[in-house]
Amino acid sequence: MGLQWLPALCVLSVLAALAVLVVSIVLAVLAVRVVLPTLPWKSYRSPILQAFYADNFVLPLPDGHRFPMPKYRLLRDRLQRELMDVTLCPAPAASGGELALVHTPTYIDAVADGTLPAAAPREIGFPWSPAMAERARRSVGASVAAARIALGYGAEPAQGVAGNLAGGTHHAYPHKGGGFCVFNDLAVAARLMQAEWLRGRVASTPRRKPLQVAIVDLDVHQGNGSASIFAGDASVFTLSLHAAKNFPFRKEAGDLDVDLPDRCSDAAYLQVLEQALDELERRFEPGLLLYLAGADPFERDRLGRLALSFDGLEARDRRVFDWAWQRRIPLAFAMGGGYGLDIAETVQVQVNTYSVALEYWRRWNVAPTVASCA
């Protein structure tokens, strides 16, 4: 009679074992989500899209300041909740030597020790503080880290796509900042990737020529600092689509500048973007693309003047990522501006950008290698 309970006991044993297995898997996944982002970015290779943040350095802005500092933490929170296949990593700080590839030593030191001229913080748009100086270095470091991962670094193969949750500080010049920009993160990333490419620290094919870098700047404001830094430099191509009647009111000549009329909407913008990418391809052959995916062309942006919808901005992002993917050009991207009347709409534009980026990261890292003809 005692044996009649044996089948039930076997079933219970199997269920208990399955429950232990499920709990173990859940705990392992949670451990990965908690531990990996706290490690130095070079100490592991993530199997998912990597993005770098510095929102833990919050600027002490006065009440009523028009810069929406909370958007960075709101973006990170949304990505943690909704895009679990994005690994969020703390941004490393750019070193003084890395910054000096673009910026003057005098300016770097003045930002570090708070000895900027009295007019400089007003031009930048932020009061100086230790947090401001540290955050500026971290914003640059985030774009540098993203570029290294996209392009490949040391023994690590190219991931193809990586991002910065902030950055896009394209108004900064070598000797000064402006327009909420302290240091020019994409300019430093371009210069450093070129230097590391020549030193053989970037994982890629044998180098027959210097690394050529394209900066595709789709913030609503022209990247005047970037255009000035790379003026006359044949190894870096600056492309900018921006509102003609918006800041900066004295624009610099880049390699390809497209002035857009007020209230330019989805169809017209996407047509112009297509033409601009065609022109880029005719004139330049990049080995790395740095993409400034500004949210401020959005139709309800306070500082925008253009009229792109959520769908239009997502189509913009998709076109840039696809253009790079079709040519197998590694792409690192930064968020740039975004000053929506409703900060949640700015963050939604940025979340959409990351959704597109993740799709193209998967293409880079899942598609089989195509053998070349002998």
Q: Which CATH number does the domain housing residue 157 bear?
A: 3.40.800.20
pLDDT digits (tens, 9 = 90+) for 76-131: 999 999 999 999 999 999 999 999 999 999 999 999 999 999 999 999 999 999 99
- pTM value? 0.85
End-to-end CA distance of the chain: 75
Domain that holds residue 272: 48-364
Structure letter (DSSP) for residue 49:
E
Q: Please give the backbone phi and psi of residue 153, each rounded to the nearest 5 degrees, phi first.
A: -140, 130
Q: Is residue 374 part of a domain?
A: no
- Please give the structure tokens belonging to residue 44: 């592991």
Residue 287 lies in a domain: yes
Q: Is residue 9 part of a domain?
A: no
Dump pLDDT digits (tens) for 295-304: 999 999 999 9
Kind of pairing between the strands at 288-292 and 49-53: unpaired
Inter-residue contact 172 to 143 (CB < 8 Å): no
The closest alpha carbon to 72, from 162, 163, 176, belongs to: 163
What lies within 8 Å, CB to CB, of 198 at 6+ separation is: 207, 210, 211
Q: Which two tokens stand for residue 311?
A: 């769908």
Among 261, 191, 200, CA closest to 229: 191
248 cis-preceded (ω within 30 degrees of 0): yes
Q: Does residue 10 sit within a domain? A: no
Any domain includes 191? yes
Q: Which of 268, 228, 264 is nearest to 246 (CA)?
A: 264
Residue with tokens 């929406």: 68
Q: Is residue 371 part of a domain?
A: no
* Per-residue burial over 324-350, b = 16 or more CB atoms within 10 Å of its CB, e = otherwise: bbeeebbbbbbbbbbbbeeeebbbbbb
For the chain, residues with pLDDT lower than 50 are 1-3, 5-6, 9, 11, 14, 26, 29-46, 367-374
In a domain, 12, yes or no: no
Number of domains in the chain: 1
- For residues 25 and 98, give the distance between their C-alpha atoms in angstroms, rounded to a whole number: 41
What one-character DSSP code corresponds to residue 42?
G
pLDDT score at 208: 61
Q: From CA 276, how far away is CA 168, in angstroms rounded?
A: 20
**Per-residue confidence (pLDDT) for residue 62, from 0 to 100:** 84
Identify whether 282 is part of a domain: yes
**Closest among 167, 168, 151, 170 to 159, alpha carbons compared:** 151
User: What pLDDT does residue 209 have?
Assistant: 80
H/E stretch holding 260: strand 256-260
> What burial class does residue 11 get, using C-beta atoms within 10 Å of its C-beta: 0-12 exposed, 13-18 middle, 19+ buried?
exposed
